[in-house]
Amino acid sequence: MKFCQCLAAALCAALLFTACSAPGNTPVAVSDPVSTAASTSADPVDQAIQALNYTYFDVTDEMTQGEYHDPLFTYAPPSDGHPDSQALVNQAAAIFEQACGENFSDQEFILYYYSSPFSYDQQTVAHIQTTLPSTRLLEDEQIPKERYENKKPEALYKQHARNMTIVSLDLDVEQGSVLHFGGAFSFDALDKLPENYDELRKALWPDQISSFCEAANLGTPASVKFSNDQASSVWVTLENGDICRFSLSLAGIVGFDNLTRAGGDEAVQSALDKDAGR
């Protein structure tokens, strides 16, 4: 999505326009010793979801007013009931930690709900984003005010204006599976690829893909197909038949898209043509 591309403590004052968390809660990022002690799962994603509530700001209402607004999109939670936003944010944080290899417990997350007649079967999707913890942030006084003042949602504009690395994903609200992921790593420079690049990617990427699929509730890949010997794309068919494309570098996962859910056969073919240079 075009708008899919942590905040300092001072941001809280700028975000009084919106609910900061699920009704009745305040933004927190503290360990829950009861949940931690009760957890018997060895899965780090499950443990992270159970043990920590990550701070987040819901800007769904602001999306209908600001420059990010697209009239072809509907910004609202599902009509049949509000999902557990905190659980979705916790899940996103655990996936970010797995994919990026960093601790996101001190980050603040931005959340909004949207649906589109052109993607994901018009289903309501949760978009969640935050910043990479290792990114060097600009302080409030260093950010040119014209980058965010009088723009809505201010939280989104201010986050991008800090010149930081954004990581984001779109989650299936009903199933909790990842539909889109925008990672923190850059593509490998084609003029600086090692001679054994093809060997390296085939040794590294399948394990990274499998780990991501597990963390993202996508199941075990049914098939993994590499593009040509210098391509960053890997095509994955999930157990349910969905066709997905991973973009990777030697550093890690750059991006992920469930193309079947995004636009069916047309989206899959369009991506295949792009990979083939057509």
- Of 147, 182, 217, the domain-final residue: 182
Within-domain flag for 244: yes
Same domain membership, residue 178 and residue 194: no
- Number of domain units in the chain: 2
Amino acid letter at 110? I
Nearest-angstrom CA–CA distance, 273 and 126:
29
Q: In Å, how far from its chain's centre is CA 124?
A: 15
Are 86 and 151 in a shared domain?
Answer: yes
Averaged over successive runs of 10 residues, the pLDDT of the chain (278 residues) comes to 34 32 37 36 56 87 76 84 89 93 92 85 90 72 60 62 76 86 83 86 92 90 85 91 92 91 84 73
Q: What is the pLDDT of residue 12?
A: 32
In a domain, 225, yes or no: yes
Which structural domain, as residue segments, surrounds residue 151?
11-182
152 and 64 within one domain = yes
Residue 35, pLDDT score = 35
pTM (2 d.p.) = 0.71
3-state DSSP assignment of residue 216 = coil
Per-residue confidence (pLDDT) for residue 66, from 0 to 100: 66
Residue pair 55/110 in contact by the 8 Å Cβ criterion = no
Predicted pLDDT of residue 151: 61
Q: Are residues 117 and 204 in the same domain?
A: no
> Which pLDDT value is given to residue 28?
39
Whether 41 is in a domain gets the answer yes
257/124 same-domain check: no
Q: Of 120, 153, 182, which residue is a domain's last?
A: 182
> Cα–Cα distance between 254 and 259 in angstroms, integer?
16
